[in-house]
Amino acid sequence: MGDHFQTVVDVDATADEAQVLAARVVEWLVAEGIVLGERTDCVLGRPLGHPPGPNWRRAVEESPDWDPWDGLAVHTERTVFDSGQGGPESVTCPRCETTTPLSGETYDEDYEVSREAEPDNGAWPRFAAAMGTWHETGAATVDCPACARPVALTDWIWEDDHYAFGHLGLEFWNWPELRPDFIQEISRLLGGHRTGYVWGKL
Ligand SMILES: [Zn+2]
């Protein structure tokens, strides 16, 4: 079984808010016994994370047949959270609801297109460039191929929730599926901010 992650992303938090909000959520998770306060080497891609606490079951769907074997990584910098393997198959405009296919196109770490495949509609390079811009500046738009209106990168609807863009992400490594009401509770702790949920594997 490979490593997988589930990331709850606050898509509304500003760069200035992220640290304070992250601390508030972690404090609650520790108080509830869902994770432990003391950080250890229990996550991927970060030096330290919070290992599962005695009450980790409160966060996950009922009766998982396995225990989480890694912990929680907390991200508090501007991050393009993605699902890992492969690229998204399509993206949908929130204005006109037209879906633009992207399948087959992949990119490298610098958001450059590393392989182009069908359909060759030229959409993916523009989204990839916008991701690079967003990562640098915190703002980017992509003109919709269908309605031609500029749409903020963060407003596009991704197939399979492939991406979420934000300054605060709670990344659970190798946990059973998180419960929707647990994610809602986190959203409430974040002051009612909208949250994205990105699932992926390495
Ligand atoms: Zn559109």
∠ at Cα 122 (121, 123), nearest 5°? 95
**149 CA distance to ligand 1 centroid (A)?**
6
**104 CA distance to ligand 1 centroid (A)?**
22
For the segment 153-165, the average pLDDT, to the nearest whole number, is 94
Are 154 and 167 in a shared domain? no
Angle between helices 18-31 and 180-189 (to 10 degrees): 130
Q: Tell me if 97 is assigned to some domain.
A: yes
Residue with tokens 């509609």: 121
Query: Rounded to whole angstroms, how far apart are CA atoms 166 and 37?
Result: 24
Q: Tell me the residue range of the domain where 27 lies.
A: 4-79+163-201
Q: Which residues contact 122 (CB under 8 A, 6 or more apart)?
A: none
**Is the CB of residue 175 less than 8 Å from the CB of residue 73?**
no
| pLDDT higher than 90, residue 18 | yes
Report the share of the chain in percent with pLDDT over 70: 91
**132 CA distance to ligand 1 centroid (A)?**
21
Q: What is the pLDDT of residue 87?
A: 79
92-115 pLDDT, tens digit each: 999 999 999 886 555 556 666 555
Q: Tell me if 86 is assigned to some domain.
A: no
Domain count, the chain: 2
| pLDDT higher than 50, residue 118 | no
122-151 pLDDT, tens digit each: 888 899 999 999 999 999 999 999 999 999
Q: Tell me if 144 is assigned to some domain.
A: yes
